[in-house]
């Protein structure tokens, strides 16, 4: 199985859920980030080693395949694994055995491998980052996780999930999220996907002093425009009033006239926004 998607879309979480809902749920689940393991250690981490197999190997070490025996092994960022190691992994999958470094006897294994990558698979194969035979072995079933910006309808459920998590972690009693806060969250592009969203909700939960998250609890960065098309140049000599008026006009246009989202992006209250709309003669056109 291969799970693809941008960084932060929840590939590891999806792999864990697949394991939890499978007949292997009572057996071990082991995850390894191939990009985080030094090349000199990746073989030992995957297949293990015997005592004395190399300098510093003072005891026998069980690798990920052996620890996941009977369960699932998640290989995150598999395209960062050297091609020669991919070949050894492929042999282990096909032969259902592994050979620890320094051992002279193979160990039988029964492991479901779930691979993940944030790289386009066709490009990874062309660039030699993913062996074609490994791709065919793993791609029996494939899942592509869309970026968070393409599934904004999931934000309320994700927010609720993380709020409950942080209620337990920080001894909070947050019961929900108000509409203005939710609109501000929907206005963001979420380049860091669920990982970034989780971080924002965590910070907001820490700041929250009531039973509902509000736009005021969000980090300051979320009150700024997050769409490059909404940017504009300020000619030298422009007055502050001219700049403010143009910013308000463009912000309202970018959110389809939604004042709650505009307030969150501009970092001002509804009353202040209305007062400025009146000041600049925009209150009628904005209704």
Mean pLDDT confidence for 269-281: 85
What are the φ and ψ backbone dihedral angles of 50, each rounded to 5 degrees? -90, 160
91 vs 86: CA distance, rounded Å: 9
Structure confidence at residue 249 as a pLDDT band (50, 70, 90): confident
Run of H or E residues at 244: helix 240-254
Other CB atoms within a 10 A radius of the CB of residue 286 amount to: 16
**Can you give the C-alpha Rg of the chain in angstroms?**
25
Structure confidence at residue 236 as a pLDDT band (50, 70, 90): low
pLDDT, one tens digit per residue, over 48-105 is 999 888 888 888 899 999 999 999 999 999 999 999 999 999 999 999 999 999 888 9
Q: Indicate yes or no: pTM above 0.85.
A: no
Structure confidence at residue 24 as a pLDDT band (50, 70, 90): very high
Structure confidence at residue 230 as a pLDDT band (50, 70, 90): very low
**pLDDT above 70: percentage of residues in the chain:** 92
pLDDT, one tens digit per residue, over 129-188 is 999 999 999 999 999 999 998 888 999 999 999 999 999 999 999 999 998 888 889 888
């Amino acid at each position: 199985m291969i799970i693809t998607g941008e960084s932060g879309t929840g590939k590891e979480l999806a792999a864990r859920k697949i394991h939890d809902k499978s007949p292997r749920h009572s057996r071990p689940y082991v995850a390894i980030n191939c990009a985080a393991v030094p090349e000199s250690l990746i073989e030992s981490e995957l297949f293990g080693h015997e005592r004395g197999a190399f300098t510093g190997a003072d005891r026998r070490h069980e690798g990920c395949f052996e620890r996941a025996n009977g369960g699932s092994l998640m290989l995150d960022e598999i395209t960062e694994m050297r091609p020669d190691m991919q070949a050894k992994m492929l042999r282990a999958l096909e032969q259902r055995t592994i050979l620890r470094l320094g051992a002279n006897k193979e160990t039988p294994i029964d492991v479901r491998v779930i691979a993940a990558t944030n790289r386009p698979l066709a490009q990874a194969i062309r660039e030699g980052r993913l062996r074609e035979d490994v791709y065919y072995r793993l791609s029996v079933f494939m899942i592509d996780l869309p970026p968070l910006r393409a599934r904004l309808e999931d934000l309320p459920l994700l927010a609720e999930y993380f709020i409950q998590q942080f209620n337990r972690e920080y001894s909070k009693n947050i019961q929900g999220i108000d509409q203005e806060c939710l609109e501000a969250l929907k206005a963001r592009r979420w380049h860091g996907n669920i990982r970034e969203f989780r971080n924002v909700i965590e910070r907001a939960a820490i700041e929250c002093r009531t039973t509902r998250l509000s736009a005021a609890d969000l980090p300051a960065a979320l009150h700024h425009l997050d769409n490059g098309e909404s940017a504009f140049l300020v000619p030298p000599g422009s007055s502050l009033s001219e700049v403010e008026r143009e910013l308000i006009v463009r912000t309202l246009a970018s959110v389809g006239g939604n004042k709650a989202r505009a307030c969150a992006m501009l970092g001002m209250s509804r009353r202040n926004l209305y007062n400025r709309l009146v000041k600049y003669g925009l209150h009628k056109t904005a209704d």
